[in-house]
Structure 1
Amino acid sequence: MAYTIDPRPHVGRTALVTGSGRNLGKGIALAFAKAGANVVLNGRNDVDALKAVAAEAESYGVKAHWVLADVSNPDDVQRMVDEAVDRFGSIDISVQNVGLRPRQSFLEITPDDWKRVIETSLSSAFYLARCVLPGMRDKRWGRIIHMSGRDGFFTYANRAHNVTAKAGLHALAKAIAVEFGEYNITANTIAPGKMDTVRDEKNYPNYKALWAEAVKTMPLRRLGTDEDAAQCCLFLASPESWVTGQLIHLNGGESMY
């Protein structure tokens, strides 16, 4: 029996990707559109970016809907999900892709600083999962993906809040995987390494030069791309996937664990 790959395995499904106006989120959303899924796009304030991604997504013959929402606010997340369900009937694939990465020494982190990072990078994933899981459970199918980061597993100084949030994302995914697996719902985590994206120079000073040097020691000798992240998401969201509760280090072999 010949094995064939369906180029559009998600026709009729809906994928919601937070932080999808640029960088990895944009690439992931467009990949799901190419795979046949309607897409729900999210950003906090850049309407023009979301409109542009929506137009590109619809060029693949699917429908796109964008929602401005602060994912650190549970009421905003509920509103976003309600809008998406009203528009498309359900959310079948959920990708949490929003995070803050400030650099602060441990004793400089105030309670407000801590709360801001944890709410944006970790609590947002809980709020989103809490909103989409009932519908996935009813349909007995769903895919939840958390975009984490290497910080949570290889750890940096001056990033305690971010390190905690990134590691917590995987713990949350594992908890969801255990509790909802019987409903054919999977939950996994991707930890991107050094990706070729636009970075905040304040939090990543001189990163281009530093990463150019780092690439020389990577087995695959290049930075990651939006497409690399998107293909990893498509793999984890595949219709018959048997992968759940797992962490994938998407880093070109820079670290192997």
Structure 2
Amino acid sequence: MKLLEGKTAIVTGAARGIGKEIALKYASEGCNIAFTDLVIDENGKKTEEEIAAYGVKCKGYASNAADFAATEKTVEEIKADFGSIDILVNNAGITKDGLMLRMTEQQWDAVIAVNLKSAFNYIHAVLPIMMRQKSGSIINMASVVGVHGNAGQSNYAASKAGLIALAKSIAQEVGSRGIRANAIAPGFIETAMTEALPAEVRKEWCQKIPLRRGGKVEDIANVATFLASDMSGYVTGQVIQVDGGMNM
């Protein structure tokens, strides 16, 4: 039997990147997928088709994760379409980097809203459903910079640190209802964004990593699958760093 057979997951910001990889991995393990993004364009439709090819139910929802009312409406639609919500992956995120002295209020507010408030919105919306089911797994996609900070990314680091504390707090609040909450803190992961960096910058990053390489999106998806499955049934309130040992 597949690890997530018959379960339903919401993965936010999953039309591309790490979110998409997690959704595909979940689908390969028998999980039905509801994914969200700001718009479901041709790229989103392609993602929908790729996920559905695993023989699971899949639907993409155009929704602003940072909007509380829109999130409530989207979750209601997902519950009506799928019947249950067993897994929530809060993956939606943006960056607007800059040194604190030059950072604008808009840069700060935008990152906090999309990265952190969106997780509050979705957790708030799915908890009543999971509590009635007496089960559920919530996974917040954090970052190693949420653990140790990073110059020029105070807004991003603060949002990711918030996701870690949020997962730990939710784990304490609803553990007695059979609901688990954890965070994943990726390190230097090879994505389209990191591929755009100069070769010397990427090489310098890898030299700081004990495994001497960047991570793959599959590395994140594998840990997300573990946390979503019954294999991690006694794991809650944890932050798992997937960083090749970069931040020991």
- Fold in common (TM above 0.5): yes
Q: Which residue of 1 aligns with 2:235?
A: 243
Q: Which residue of 2 aligns with 1:49?
A: 43
What letter corresponds to residue 242 of structure 1 in structure 2? Y
1:111 deviation in Å? 2.7
Over 3 Å counting, the alpha-carbon distance change for 1:194 and 1:208 in structure 2 is: farther
What letter corresponds to residue 252 of structure 1 in structure 2? G
CA distance in 1, matches of 2:208, 2:152: 25
- Is the CA contact (8 Å cut-off) linking 1:170 and 1:247 kept in structure 2? yes
* Unaligned segments of structure 1, at least 5 residues: 1-5
Count of residue pairs brought into register by the alignment? 247
* 1:113 corresponds to 2:104: no
1:22 deviation in Å? 1.0
Q: After the TM superposition, which segments of 4 or more aligned residues of structure 1 sit over 6 Å from their partners?
A: none
- Is the CA contact (8 Å cut-off) linking 1:188 and 1:246 kept in structure 2? yes
CA distance in 2, matches of 1:208, 1:31: 29
Deviations 1:98-134 (A, max 9, x none): 1122222212223332221111110100000000111
Over 3 Å counting, the alpha-carbon distance change for 1:217 and 1:112 in structure 2 is: closer
SS across alignment from 2:192? coil
Q: Which residue of 2 aligns with 1:70?
A: 64
SS across alignment from 2:35? strand
CA distance in 1, matches of 2:41, 2:135: 31
* 1:222 corresponds to 2:213: yes
Give the alignment of 1:171-182 within 5 angstroms: 171-182=165-176
CA distance in 2, matches of 1:208, 1:163: 24
* 1:209 corresponds to 2:209: no
SS across alignment from 2:101? helix
Q: Which residue of 1 aligns with 2:224?
A: 233
- Is the CA contact (8 Å cut-off) linking 2:96 and 2:107 kept in structure 1? no
1:214 deviation in Å? 2.4
Q: Which residue of 1 aligns with 2:141?
A: 147
Over 3 Å counting, the alpha-carbon distance change for 1:207 and 1:244 in structure 2 is: farther
Deviations 1:125-180 (A, max 9, x none): 00000001110010001000000112211211222211111100011001100010
Percent of paired sites with the same residue: 38
1:15 deviation in Å? 0.6
CA distance in 2, matches of 1:213, 1:116: 30
If the length of structure 2 is used for normalisation, what is the TM-score? 0.94
* Unaligned segments of structure 2, at least 5 residues: none
CA distance in 2, matches of 1:102, 1:198: 17
Deviations 1:171-213 (A, max 9, x none): 1001100010011110000010000101189xxx735431223
| RMSD, aligned α-carbons | 1.6
- Is the CA contact (8 Å cut-off) linking 1:12 and 1:38 kept in structure 2? yes
What letter corresponds to residue 211 of structure 1 in structure 2? R
Q: Which residue of 1 aligns with 2:180?
A: 186
CA distance in 1, matches of 2:27, 2:99: 41
- Is the CA contact (8 Å cut-off) linking 2:12 and 2:35 kept in structure 1? yes
* 1:166 corresponds to 2:160: yes
- Is the CA contact (8 Å cut-off) linking 1:41 and 1:50 kept in structure 2? no
If the length of structure 1 is used for normalisation, what is the TM-score? 0.91
CA distance in 1, matches of 2:202, 2:245: 14
SS across alignment from 2:138? strand
Q: Which residue of 2 aligns with 1:126?
A: 120
CA distance in 2, matches of 1:236, 1:160: 28
CA distance in 2, matches of 1:217, 1:110: 31
1:67 deviation in Å? 0.3
Of 148-157 and 207-216, the range deviating more from structure 2: 207-216
Deviations 1:228-254 (A, max 9, x none): 111000111112511000011100112
